[in-house]
Amino acid sequence: MSHAFDFGPLVPAGSPPPAVRWPGLAKYNFTGGNNDADEVPVDDLIAAATASLKREGRNLATYNLAHGPQGYRPLREFLVTKLKRDAGIVCSADDILLLSGSSQALDLVNAALLTRGDTVICEKDSYQSTLTRFARIGANVIGIPLDKDGMRMDALAAALADCKARGVQPKMIYTIPTVQNPTATIMPETRRAELLRLSEQHGVAVFEDDCYSDLIWSGQRPPALYAMSRAKNVVHCGSFSKSIAPALRVGFLVAPWTIMSRIMPLKTDAGSGSVEQMMLAEYCPGQFATHLPVLRKALRAKVETLMETLNEQFGTAAEFDDPRGGIFLWVKLPDTVDTMKLCQAALKQGVAINPGPEWSTDAKHAGARLRLCFASPTHQQIREGVAILAEVCAREFGVPTRSANISRAHA
Ligand SMILES: Cc1ncc(COP(=O)(O)O)c(C=O)c1O
């Protein structure tokens, strides 16, 4: 009988814990940044893929379709036009790097700027994958509290002053200013100007993660930090994951050459997938702008179903703000609820949620909070899933005490 080779001793110290086998998607899946399956423009994408492959498929014989390491130029040119129109960003195709999702931007910017022991600043509640990346690097993370307008500038100013007093020079402020994950807040223009002023005053770089900015219900967004910066200390990333589909794996980075030239040598994958870049470059100029309002309308309808069902099932026990865009609702339950435990108990009943502590630099503050993605479940799954969640929560924590106007004590 042969024994399996033990790779364990070869794995360097400090590696992440081993993965667990994928258990499959939960029946009621409120986790992750998944999109609405009914809103993927499948037929138009088929037509775009076919047309571009027929015309330029032979270029697949050359890495990056012979468009160089920054990726397929027509897609970068579409982004130049789009970013100018929507975000006020003035840049050229040479300032854009196409990536395998904006996740790759997080890896590359971190690799270019951070090393163990560095200090980074971000919103107190933030994107889980960003927080785990910072932890893995061994960065010291300072979480800045948010209010209804995003990261609080009084708290940022105080944190920067405190760093200065301690002789600590933070490397960067990572922020999701436009439909923040998980809080869905949108930072107004005046606050953006203040953030830039503080970053310049303290010599700190800004990393603007903007992947939800196409999903504001009104279609109107404040200008990007990248657009407003005079000091040019901002790098900006975006994605087609939330506006078209996450499985495409197409994202992008916009950065001044001084830092772009340090990032590019770190992208050692010989280019991101070219078929998706060609397909998007064919699809987007004519159809992206008409697709978005349809998607936003569908997402808005879903969040209305979610808010209505939460009100019905949890009553005043579930607190949340009506989001102005995005795919997430950040929900606060009574302090007696531990959402890490709720998450495990709900999963046994087929309901998957993201517990707050995994999305925060402050586990205590987020202990009774949870994040619900409303884009991917159907309306019926939202209704059924939230009803099960309320039932599990009542059983485990005694709240909510009433659901669907029926007292649980007598139900
Ligand atoms: C804030 C934020 N940044 C980046 C990403 C990465 O997205 P992708 O790699 O699919 O572009 C996500 C995905 O959920 C996100 O929420």
* In the predicted structure, residue 2 carries a pLDDT above the cut 70: no
pLDDT of 406 > 80? The answer is: no
pLDDT value of position 1: 56
**pLDDT band at 411, cuts 50/70/90?**
very low
pLDDT in tens, 287-316: 999 999 999 999 999 999 999 999 999 999
Atom number, ligand 1, closest to the C-alpha of residue 126: 1
Q: CB 173: neighbour CB atoms within 10 A?
A: 28
For strands 119-123 and 96-99, give the pairing.
Answer: unpaired
Q: Which atom of ligand 1 approaches the CA of 240 most closely?
A: 11
Output the pLDDT for position 3.
Answer: 79
Residue nearest to atom 13 of ligand 1 (CA): 33
Q: Are 114 and 120 in contact (CB under 8 A)?
A: yes
Handedness of CA 238, 99, 181, 149 (dihedral sign): negative
Identify the pLDDT of residue 408: 72
pLDDT at 349 exceeding the cut of 80 = yes
Confidence of residue 126 (pLDDT cuts 50, 70, 90): very high
Instruction: Answer yes or no: is the C-beta of 238 below 6 A from any ligand 1 atom.
Output: no
Rounded to the nearest 5°, which phi and psi values hold at 229? -75, 125
How far CA 217 is from CA of 65, 143, 304, 319, 346, in Å, comes to 36, 28, 12, 21, 30
116 CB-near residues (< 8 Å, 6+ apart): 137, 138, 139
Q: How confident is the model at residue 404 (pLDDT cuts 50, 70, 90)?
A: confident
Confidence of residue 401 (pLDDT cuts 50, 70, 90): confident
Ligand 1 atom at minimum distance from 241 CA: 10
Q: What local confidence, expressed as pLDDT, does residue 410 receive?
A: 46
Whether 213 lines ligand 1, by a CB cut-off of 6 Å, is no
The token pair that represents 294 in the structure block: 């349809």
- Give residue 407's pLDDT: 76
CB 123 less than 6 A from any atom of ligand 1: no
Average pLDDT value for the chain = 96
Nearest protein Cα to ligand 1, atom 6 = 103
Residue 402: predicted pLDDT: 73
Q: What is the pLDDT of residue 199?
A: 98
Average pLDDT over residues 379-406: 92
pLDDT range class, residue 201, cuts 50, 70, 90: very high
Evaluate: CB of 403 within 6 angstroms of ligand 1.
no
pLDDT digit string, tens, across residues 180-195: 999 999 999 999 999 9
Q: How far, in whole angstroms, is CA 66 from its chain's centroid?
A: 31
- For residues 239-267, give the mean pLDDT: 98
Q: Please tell me if the CB atom of residue 229 comes closer than 6 angstroms to any atom of ligand 1.
A: no
**C-beta 118 within 6 A of ligand 1:** no
pLDDT of amino acid 34: 94
User: Counting atoms of ligand 1 from 1, which one is nearest the CA of 33?
Assistant: 14
Q: What is the pTM of this model?
A: 0.96
pLDDT number for residue 409: 57
Quick one: average pLDDT of 224-230? 98
Percent of the chain with pLDDT over 70: 99
